[in-house]
Amino acid sequence: MIQRQKSFVISSFLSNLAAFFRIISMTEVKISIRQARPNEAERIAEFIIMAMTEECCLHFCGPHHDINDFRSVMTSLVARDDTQYSYLNTLVADDGGSVIGICVSYDGALLHQLRQPFIDAALKEWNMDHSSIPDETQAGELYLDSLAVDPAYRGRGIAKLLLQASIQKSKQMNLPSTGLLVDVGNPRAEVLYNKVGFQYAGTNSWGGHEMRHLVIKN
């Protein structure tokens, strides 16, 4: 029932997305922000790895597995409709032929439910127990889990568009705020988030790194 309600809200959001501001021209390339598709799971997984960093990915899969093992599991999680990394939770930037950026986001109240498939897969595939991983979000916010843009397209405002579209999604879902975590070692990313309106709300840890929790009120 929760998934059907969530799908209805997202569908309503996407029907208004184009009217909001979605198709623009950038250096002769038209960029659109749209809902991800199941057949894009492998490409989306690559962007999630980019957002997480290879170091963090290897932290999760442990010393006996490599980035290809992580990629395989992540691709399967993206292709499902019941995980935090699901294509249903993903907006993509499309240049008219390929995915050039992504933003994965979901209702923080559903974190434990959506994260369980990752925990199960980590135990089964890597023999890694992440059942006690700290919560990176909570009820009351749309949590922006992963944001990444193809290096060849950076500096063109695509990350900002994905952030703005995600904030609109949060408002459409009637959530009080939109939040994310940024690595303390990545001040350039925090500058971007600040420009969009995100403000510091506390500290957290994730993937073995100290993180800053940033929030924007809807």
Full strand arrangement of the beta sheet holding 99-107: 24-26, 29-35, 90-94, 99-107, 141-149, 177-183, 209-217, 199-206
* pLDDT of 3 over the 60 cut: no
Q: How many domains does the chain have?
A: 1
**What band does 185 get if pLDDT is binned at 50, 70 and 90?**
confident
Question: Per residue in 114-141, pLDDT tens?
Answer: 999 999 999 999 999 999 988 999 999 9
Percent of the chain residues past pLDDT 90, beyond the cut: 75
Q: Which domain holds residue 7?
A: 2-217
Tokens of 102: 């992504």
Task: Please write the tens of the pLDDT for every residue from 58-67.
Answer: 999 999 999 9
- Residue 146: give its domain's CATH number: 3.40.630.30
Instruction: Tell me the average pLDDT across 93-98.
Output: 92
Q: Give the N- to C-terminal CA distance of the chain in Å, as an integer.
A: 25
Q: What does pLDDT average to over the chain?
A: 89
What is the per-residue pLDDT across 40-74, written as a single tens digit (0 to 9) for each?
999 999 999 999 999 989 999 999 999 999 999 99
Averaged pLDDT for residues 95-100? 92
pTM: 0.85
pLDDT of residue 23: 46
Alpha-carbon span 196 to 135, nearest angstrom:
24
Which one is predicted more confidently, 79 or 19? 79
* Three-state DSSP string of 165-195: HHHHHHHHCCCCEEEEEEECCCHHHHHHHHH
Span 20-32, pLDDT tens digits: 444 444 445 689 9
